[in-house]
Amino acid sequence: MRCSLLCLIVASLPLAGCLKPPPVVGVEEPMSVSVATVLESVDQPWVVSAPDAVVARLNDELVRRNLSPIAPSDEVLSTFAAIRSTAGRLEQLALDPPAPLLVLIEATPRFSAQVNGRYRWSVQAEISIAPSAMTSPATTESFTIPAHLIYSHQAEAEALAEASPVVARQLGRMLDEWIHSEGLAPAP
């Protein structure tokens, strides 16, 4: 019995390579989205836009779903340092570019420890998706991603860049769920 179970498991392992990732869910008509990706410090009062490479990676997830990202103005981003709540930031984001959908990605990296010659950071990320009219509450998800950096001079921006593949995957999953829940996905 044990041998046949082991043989079944070993025989099915090559089939696991044939599993395909779930298809990307896109909207039928192109839709503009106001997207703010911000990096904030735990210790300092500053809030800045995320590095360009991180923003590009996250915007790719939107483009794959037929969503056109629009960056907020510098004035809106400058208000984020004074407004620390997600709801307040979404309200500010809704005032700027005319887009039916708002996506706010907030990342707060913090240094944890030095382990085996690497610098361990924890990136606390929060993604919020909301209609710009605020007719329904925002869909928000928080998660923490570990990042291991090599050099001591690397800081928050590099930790977020290291964690950006996970943030992009989570953003894609949340967008797929939101598109389905709003009934915007094309009929099969």
For residue 13, pLDDT over 70 is answered with no
Domains of the chain: 28-181 (3.30.160)
The single residue listed with the structure tokens 């930790």 is 159
Q: Mean of the per-residue pLDDT values for the chain?
A: 88
In this prediction, residues 147-151 reach a mean pLDDT of 91
| Residue of higher predicted confidence among 139 and 188 | 139
Identity of the amino acid at 74: D
Tell me which range, 2-11, 84-93, 160-169, is most confidently predicted by mean pLDDT: 160-169
What whole-number distance in Å separates Cα of residue 150 and Cα of residue 158?
10
For residue 141, pLDDT over 90 is answered with yes
User: Which residues contact residue 59 at a Cβ distance below 8 angstroms, ignoring those fewer than 6 apart?
Assistant: 35, 69
